[in-house]
Chain A
Amino acid sequence: MRPILSSFFVVLLLVVEPASAQEAIDKQVDSLSEQVEALTELLESLQGVVDRQQDRIEALEEENADLLGEGESEVVEEFSPPDSPEGVPTATEPRISQSLNPDIGVVVDLVGSFTESGEDEEGNDRLSVREMELTIGHDIDPYARFDSTITLSDFEEVTVEEAYVTFWGLPWELQARAGRMRPKVGKATALHRDELDTVDEPLVVQRYLGIEGLFLTGVEVSRFLPQFIEPLSQELTLGVMEGGIGEDGSLFGETRRHPTYFGHLKNSWDFSPATNLELGGTYLLGSSDEDNREDVQALGVDLSLRRNFASSRALKWQSELYAQDRDDAAINKSPWGYYSLVDYRFASRWGLGGRYDWVELVNPDPADSDDKDKAYSAFVTFYQSEFARLRVQYQHADLATGERDNRFFFQGTFAVGVHKHKIQ
């Protein structure tokens, strides 16, 4: 804008006063020359600044590159993963593609039972598929896991033996299970039959809790107690489940409306890496029938000693006792019973053992000569592999009815798919 105005005034002067116009033009030219010189000096000065800055930037970039180079080589040399051995793959893709599939397993329990008894009981004098367990389980989310056992048998209808959710990460380090399950009480009843050391459940479990043990729907909460001595671990479990009892069990009545309360304290003592003693206490409180509530209670004690002599040789001694206190019309107000078994795996493929059973009946027939069932069992197990096992068991029973029974069991247990036993 300024040059335009200057030119305008020059022209005006030329028109208005021609004599003084030349002077004005000269002055204007001188002034412009001075401005151009000043601008040239300024430009040269700025160019110098730019050149110096450029030099500084290049120097810094070189310095930085040197530093980066040193750092990279250090990381590569010391903290990047070392090379794998030559010629060997590291691919593990199958694990990724299968990781969301549930764990599925099938356990078949073939049992032959041959007896002197004339009763046409389930499985007497025949070979049968006592159980085919279909196990399905998987993590639900970071907080819970689902496990189930569906049992098929040629004795009875399809049964949902277990279907429960385990919750982790609860406050105070609690762990909870909810659903149909084998509650953490005692030793034998908490196991599936294919995990037992014998073909059948111990008699005290059969008579009081059910021939397959106890599994009902409920909720239980467990927690490890603070460890006050290093080798001792204690886990306390408390729970409530629907009323009722296992098949042919007599501890509680069949009504499911009155809940059963239970508790178990497990005390485990490690004598050495190869020897462990476990002492447990169980409490059960339930109802004898729908007219009575919480009129039957039972105390249980379980003791297990396990000694591993080698990878394939181990000795186990396990005993359990249950004592009842009943307010109902039972003939015996305080029946009790126990068993004790020894199982010795003396070779990688062979094991043998024995079990003694003694149990007072809740409601013996007054006409019977005795109120107790007693039995002696001896068994030999052949471990064909980790997934197949054959067992022969002989049992002599002196029953409360006065009858004597000699029974031979043959059992084959076979597992396919994912077969993982819970920690006992």
Chain B
Amino acid sequence: MFKSYTFLFCLFLSSASVFAAPLKVVTTLSTFANLVEEIGGEHVDVVNIAYPKFNPHFVQPRPSDVLKVKKAALFVHAGLDLELWRGPLLNAAGNRNIRPGTRGDLDLSRGVGLLEVPDRKQSRAEGDIHLYGNPHYWLDPANGKIMAWSIGEKLSELDPANADMYRAKVAAFHTRIDEKVEEWLARMAPYKGYEVLGYHKQWPYVVNFLGLKMENYLEPKPGVPPGPKHLDFLTSYAESESVYGIVQAVYFPDRASKTLSKRTGLAVVKLSQNVGDTSKVQSYVAMMEFNVGQFVALFESVASDD
């Protein structure tokens, strides 16, 4: 009789392992959540902390976020100094399995190409500076491929039974990105070298990828709101140089951009910074597609006006 129960118990355990619960993954940004979903599929249960319609630099995590992190088996983040709230969140959650450097920690900045890496001592007199380079790196598809690879390898490490599937998904993602990159670059080829103004210094990766130029921003220094003097400077700059438009993320106030637009006639274009910040952007590829489309529409409208 006892042997029968033991057999049934073993059967239960084996069936439980067959129907293993999805890996609980918490990401800081919605873009990372989308990549984890794309690669992990049904084997992951993903949530993100930062609401994509708000600035990811300044998030006030809620108790429910602490609870999510406490239960997570994998914590995926941007590394560097993008999420200033990441440390306090991890401290509040007290989940030892995802502390920095542990098996459940995935810093997506590892291995990606970084722009604006400081080559001298930094000071906050220069605004909201980034000590390790510009952290908005996911907007370059080359970095997107590296991030997908990192996610695939981490999922394979934590869930080796499905490693082949994760790696196949990464390979498929790479193929798709390669195809789309060719297409995006072809669409943008006529506009190589075109200059636009930015609101915040968060677009160097997409600008670098598409071969555009962005050297002036509405924020006089990162994190410092535009002032009248700086708008005067940008007005005269736009009038003296060939500038084609103003771009900003959806979550920044657009009053200053509209003021500058009225003065200069430049169109204001809102780009996607993260998956879900506009209803049209529900995946990484869609985000890049949306941004390329916005640029093309901007430059076509300028050409038709001319």
Asked if A78 meets B171 with Cβ closer than 8 Å, knowing A83-B142, A142-B96, A268-B62, the reply is yes
A172 to chain B, nearest CB (A): 12
**Which A residues are in CB contact (< 8 Å) with B225?**
348-349
**Which A residues are in CB contact (< 8 Å) with B109?**
92
Residue of A82, A95, A175 ringed by the most chain B CB atoms within 10 A: A82
**Across the interface, do B146 and A311 meet the contact criterion of CB distance under 8 Å?**
no
A88 to B111, CA, bound (A): 11
Question: Quick check: which of B83-91, B188-196, B230-238, B259-267 contacts chain A, the rest being far away?
Answer: B83-91
Within 8 A of A (CB), among B45-85: 51, 53-55, 58, 60-64, 66-67, 70, 80, 84-85
**Across the interface, do A224 and B142 meet the contact criterion of CB distance under 8 Å?**
no
Instruction: Count residues of chain B with CB under 8 A from any CB of chain A.
Output: 62
A173 at interface (Cβ–Cβ under 8 A)?
yes
Asked if A175 meets B96 with Cβ closer than 8 Å, knowing A81-B149, A233-B63, A386-B223, the reply is no
Residue of A95, A143, A347 ringed by the most chain B CB atoms within 10 A: A95
Asked if A85 meets B150 with Cβ closer than 8 Å, knowing A94-B132, A227-B67, the reply is no
> Is the interface on chain A under 10, 10 to 19, 20 to 34, or 35 or more residues?
35 or more
**Which A residues are in CB contact (< 8 Å) with B114?**
88-92
A115 at interface (Cβ–Cβ under 8 A)?
no
One digit per residue, 1 when the CB lies within 8 angstroms of any chain A CB and 0 when it does not, for chain B 152-176 equals 1100000000000001001100100
From the candidates B87, B111, B174, B224, name the one contacting A90 in the complex (CB within 8 A).
Answer: B111
Asked if A231 meets B149 with Cβ closer than 8 Å, knowing A89-B117, A143-B96, A310-B253, the reply is no
A387 at interface (Cβ–Cβ under 8 A)?
yes
A276 at interface (Cβ–Cβ under 8 A)?
yes
A27 at interface (Cβ–Cβ under 8 A)?
no
**Which A residues are in CB contact (< 8 Å) with B208?**
85, 88
A293 at interface (Cβ–Cβ under 8 A)?
no
A2 at interface (Cβ–Cβ under 8 A)?
no
Asked if A84 meets B146 with Cβ closer than 8 Å, knowing A78-B167, A224-B70, A385-B128, the reply is yes
A112 to B80, CA, bound (A): 38
From the candidates A78, A82, A139, A386, name the one contacting B142 in the complex (CB within 8 A).
Answer: A82
**Across the interface, do B64 and A423 meet the contact criterion of CB distance under 8 Å?**
no
**Across the interface, do A88 and B115 meet the contact criterion of CB distance under 8 Å?**
yes
From the candidates B94, B127, B149, name the one contacting A166 in the complex (CB within 8 A).
Answer: B94
B124 to chain A, nearest CB (A): 6
B290 at interface (Cβ–Cβ under 8 A)?
no
**5 A-B pairs, CB-CB below 8 angstroms?**
A84-B113, A84-B142, A89-B114, A89-B133, A348-B253
Q: A79-B152, A79-B170, A81-B111 are in contact. List 18 more A-B contacts (CB 8 A).
A: A82-B149, A84-B111, A84-B112, A85-B209, A89-B117, A92-B110, A103-B87, A168-B95, A169-B96, A233-B63, A233-B66, A235-B66, A308-B54, A310-B251, A311-B252, A385-B223, A422-B91, A423-B89
Q: Which of B's residues lie within 8 Å of A, judged by CB? A: 51, 53-55, 58, 60-64, 66-67, 70, 80, 84-85, 87-89, 91-92, 94-96, 99, 102, 109-115, 117, 124, 127-128, 131-133, 140, 142-143, 145-146, 149-150, 152-153, 167, 170-171, 174, 205, 208-209, 223-225, 251-253
